[in-house]
Amino acid sequence: MIYFDNNDTTQLHPDVLEAMLPFFKEKYANPASLHNMGLEADSAVDEAREKVAGLIGAKPKELIFTSGATESNNLAIMGSARARSKRKHLIISAVEHASVLNIAKRLEGEGYRVTKLPVDGLGYVSPDSLRDAIDEDTFLVSIIHANHEIGVIQDIKTLADITHERGAWFHTDAAQALGKIPFIVGDLGVDFASFNGHKLHGPKGVGGLFINRKTRPRRLMEGAPQEFELRPGTENVPGIIGFAKAIEIAVRDREEVAAYLKPLVKRLADGLSAIPHTFLNGPPPEERLPGNLNVTMLYIEGEAILMHLSNREICVSSGSACSSKSLTPSPVLTAIGLIHEEAHGAIRFSLSRFNTIEEVEEVIKKTVDVVELLRSMTAFIPELHSERQGGKGFYRER
């Protein structure tokens, strides 16, 4: 199998598994217990917290462990709404993950005003659009750091500064950013940042939320006083240990992995750009999240390409991982201006440190074959797109 779906999830790094094993076997106590075994588990969790906090430039008290980025996003957004109940306006972008889009939708149902900032043709949020949208009623601005579908990286520092001028809090969904691009909370000026383990070779079902000590969201669940009374429930000790180890490795090897992936992605982009009527969604490779490419192949369905590649032992995603089981096109792709047919022809290739150049060659070859096969079975109407994206070459413009 060739796995090119690393923005969906990743394989566990062997060192992460090694670090977790003792906490499944002999070190299984509840960190809340007062006996020796409990104390040992408690200090392991504390150490993990210190480690992760140190790697993102935070204080240990500013980091809580959660079940993943979905929960962290919910807690940051809903918890801020509850904590600052006098303000009734939320700002997000049009290219957020479903866990942000849908909690925003819930707030809208409760009577909140939600502004969804548009993006340009490459997926960038403009600081001016934030300046125009924000007002004294805004309690939070939530903008994704590195996009899971098209790899666009937002200028978080500028957006956070504008937000603070108006007294609102700033949250970023950094699930794809941490460990892949520089991530220090102080440099970015964020009040909240969401992470998870499984996007960076750590375990699933565990993540974190950075909470600047000047802010405090309201907890969403009631229970025992774990995680500074913000997130009750017995800690996922093996998960937390694995999460911390995964971040440690990712941050340690970040530049080396990015340098390793660069020629692989370049070769993949070159190989795919040779297919006629094909274009890249999002910014050029040198500007985007390492390892990520998203390509529309016109006149065929992304799902069909995905299934044919899957039959040839290659794993990729169509349009959006989250909408791949439904017929609605990805909101990220429609936000950058694609019409339905263009969004439906999109395939995301996402590589990790465990992929190789030989795999890239294999994927290019099989994708060329599959596209040829599928197009030979489709009514081919180039006129449909000559005026649109298809006529503009492989690389896009803002």
Residues 6+ apart with CB under 8 A from 306: 316, 317, 318, 324, 347
Nearer Cβ to ligand PLP (148/277)? 148
- Pair of tokens at residue 71: 């929960």
Identify which of 321, 397, 324, 360 has the alpha carbon closest to the alpha carbon of residue 149: 321
Q: What angle do CA 68, 241, 231 make, to 5 degrees?
A: 45
| Binding of residue 176 to ligand PLP (CB under 6 A) | yes
> Which of 207, 239, 290, 331: binder of ligand PLP (CB under 6 A)?
207
Identify which of 127, 247, 149, 130 has the alpha carbon closest to the alpha carbon of residue 197: 247
Q: Are strands 314-315 and 207-211 parallel, antiparallel or unpaired?
A: unpaired
Partnered with residue 350 across adjacent β-strands are: 5, 292
| Binding of residue 278 to ligand PLP (CB under 6 A) | no
Nearer Cβ to ligand PLP (8/248)? 8
CA–CA separation, 103 and 108 (whole Å): 9
- Pair of tokens at residue 250: 């990712």
Segment interacting with ligand PLP (CB under 6 A) among 16-24, 35-43, 171-179, 298-306: 171-179
Does 315 qualify as catalytic in the annotation?
Answer: no
Helix (H) or strand (E) holding 2, with range, is strand 2-3
Q: Applying CB under 6 A, what is the total number of residues that bind ligand PLP?
A: 13
CB of 4 to ligand PLP, least distance (A): 16
CB of 147 to ligand PLP, least distance (A): 7
Segment interacting with ligand PLP (CB under 6 A) among 129-137, 170-178, 307-315, 345-353: 170-178
CA–CA separation, 190 and 169 (whole Å): 8
Partnered with residue 117 across adjacent β-strands are: 93
- In the window 122-161, what residues touch ligand PLP (CB under 6 A)? 144, 148
Selected catalytic residue, list 58, 69, 77, 322 = 322
- In the window 53-112, what residues touch ligand PLP (CB under 6 A)? 68-70, 97, 99
CB of 366 to ligand PLP, least distance (A): 26
> Which of 6, 115, 172, 196: binder of ligand PLP (CB under 6 A)?
196
Identify which of 170, 173, 145, 147 has the alpha carbon closest to the alpha carbon of residue 160: 170
Nearer Cβ to ligand PLP (49/199)? 199
Q: Which residue number has the CB closest to ligand PLP?
A: 68
| Binding of residue 390 to ligand PLP (CB under 6 A) | no
Q: How buried is residue 206: exposed, middle or buried, by Cβ count under 10 Å (0-12/13-18/19+)?
A: buried
> Which of 173, 191, 248, 359: binder of ligand PLP (CB under 6 A)?
173
User: Residues with catalytic annotation?
Assistant: 322
- Residues near ligand PLP (CB under 6 A): 68-70, 97, 99, 144, 148, 173, 175-176, 196, 199, 207
